Amino acid sequence: MSAQKNILLLGSGFVAEPCLEYLLRSGNNRVTVACRRAEKAQDLVNKYAGATAMSLDVEDDAALDAAVAAHDLTISLIPYTQHARVMTSAIKAKKHVVTTSYISPAMEELDAAAKQAGIVCMNEIGLDPGIDHLYALKIINEVHDQGGRILSFESFCGGLPAPEASNNPLGYKFSWSARGVLLALRNNARYWQDGKLVEIAGKDLMDSTRPIFIYPAFALVGYGNRDSSHYRQRYNIPDAATCVRGSLRYQGFPEFAKTLVNMGFLDDTPRAALSTSATGDLPWSRVTQQLLGLSSDDPAELLRAAETHIETQDPEMRRRVIHGIKWLGITSPAVAAAKRGTYLDVLCARLEELMMYGEGERDMIILQHKFEVENKDGSHNTRTSVTLMYGEPNGFQAMAKTVGVPCGIAAQLILDGKLTTTGVIAPMTREIYEPIMELLPAEGINAVEETV
């Protein structure tokens, strides 16, 4: 029987449980779930034998060093800004680390030290990033092995409500804070399109959406996700005139989201009138009146003002956005706004009130890679790879599972000595991604490939 392995799991958010469940299938693993507040960790470990909880402040360097040193491997599912701190402790203790986050400059700077310590610091092994890398590189390397070239690469991924749960004007729901989703609307996008480098300012991101055809049943649109221009180099596809990685949403989301952006709701400047210390009631009509700089909080006047921020000229889409504004209640004097300090956070509170997943509702993840290929003989074809997965009603969400399980698989392979590449790494080479990919179908995670 193999020796017992001790794993430190930092964080108890919704992706932690599928990861924990996977790791505890091995009777040789013992997992310590650590959070700043021990009761959060305890709530999670109460469901599983072989798991214990502890209180840990990762900003306490001595405490973090001791916790990391006491375990064989640390999984960091806390905010990405803390990963470099965790890796620094791991390097001191010569212990392995796994994260699901992109490799940041601060993490990359630790590569040489991690190699010298002989440890694996595996990153980008969730869904996006993670599973997207695995299935993209599989096809890219197959084409290269056969003497072909990738002339175009498009990858779009979305975590969405299942169709029957997409029952609100945005066609979107939240599993946790809405803030990150809204702030992402301010990100710039950069990618290659037909040989030209395209740069889109955050304020124009929602204007850049276009239909993405995957299955006829889904009315999906996509837009660029941050800077994907360097993936020509990262994926070794220098001949790709188009190289874009983006996000998916249901049709109608961009127009409604852009209206909220135009109205000023992404403003995160602290406002005294919105602070928790402000006295008196705060009806939504007054919030919107102040935001738009109007003299009246009359709902009809507010709605007319909001309509001026709708950019689409499509009559049906304009009606959908107006319906959405009414549905949100942001022009109503009868709906109380939460005092959260900024227009952004007040809106987040309202979205979270209306748009969280309900009892038994399913989420969905959908990921499509699309390749234009020139084969060795000069012929051309299109190859696609689609991953579609639904959450379990009242069970693990698809997003949680597709982030947490690949992370758990990578951790287990490291502990088993099957992933041994040291340094600060991502699943970019076959010896890393193939062992992980082989284990995904047993977890219900796979890709359907087609060539046309």
| Helical axes 16-23 vs 38-45, angle rounded to 10° | 50
Closest CA to 368 of 99, 164, 128: 128
364 contact partners, CB below 8 Å, separation of at least 6: 159, 160, 161, 162, 163, 388, 389, 390, 391, 398
As a whole number of angstroms, the distance between CA 217 and CA 90 comes to 47
Supply φ then ψ for residue 81, to 5 degrees.
-65, -15
Q: Which residues are catalytic?
A: 128
Q: Partners of 152 in the beta sheet?
A: 242, 372
| Helical axes 299-307 vs 284-292, angle rounded to 10° | 50
Task: State the sign of the Cα–Cα–Cα–Cα dihedral 162, 123, 246, 372.
Answer: negative
Cis peptide before 129 (omega within 30 of 0): yes
User: Helix %, strand %, coil % for the chain, to 5?
Assistant: 40, 25, 35
Among all chains, which residue has been given the structure tokens 């049906």? 316
In contact, 68 and 74? CB cutoff 8 Å: yes
430 contact partners, CB below 8 Å, separation of at least 6: 137, 141
> How would you class 156 by CB atoms within 10 Å of its CB: exposed for 0-12, middle for 13-18, buried for 19 or more?
buried
Supply φ then ψ for residue 11, to 5 degrees.
110, 150
Beta strands in 90-148 (DSSP E): 96-99, 120-122
317 contact partners, CB below 8 Å, separation of at least 6: 252, 255
The amino acid at residue 70 is: A
As a whole number of angstroms, the distance between CA 3 and CA 202 comes to 51
